[in-house]
Amino acid sequence: MKRSLVFLAVAIIAAFAACSNQGEGEVCNIENDNADCKTDEGLVCYPFNQLNNVSSDRCCPADRSRATHPACVTAIAVGGITDAQAPADTGPAPSETPDGGAETDAQ
């Protein structure tokens, strides 16, 4: 019984100590505000949905333009182009083809 209480106490302490003083890109919990991150290095806890390809909150620089960890680097839009845009010119409409779009029988 005593052994299991000691084990439980150590597990609880380890769980709370595991997320403190985290560096850039390391896991934090947004519910703890910035307490999990190295605030003396200017790190704050960002929610995972504001970051790149991560499934948990992470410590990142408050100014993400200074980030070096891939999870923290801000995505850059290139010229307003997205993958969903169709090319500007896809060719003539079928009614604008030289034969009017009609098929002819080959003799």
Q: Which residues contact 33 (CB under 8 A, 6 or more apart)?
A: 45
Burial 71-87 (b: 16+ CB within 10 A, else e): bbbeeeeeeeeeeeeee
Per-residue pLDDT of the chain (107 residues; tens, 9 = 90+): 666 554 445 444 444 445 679 999 999 999 999 999 999 999 999 999 999 889 999 999 999 999 999 999 987 656 655 555 555 565 666 665 566 555 555 55
**Residue with tokens 């439980």, as numbered in its chain:** 8
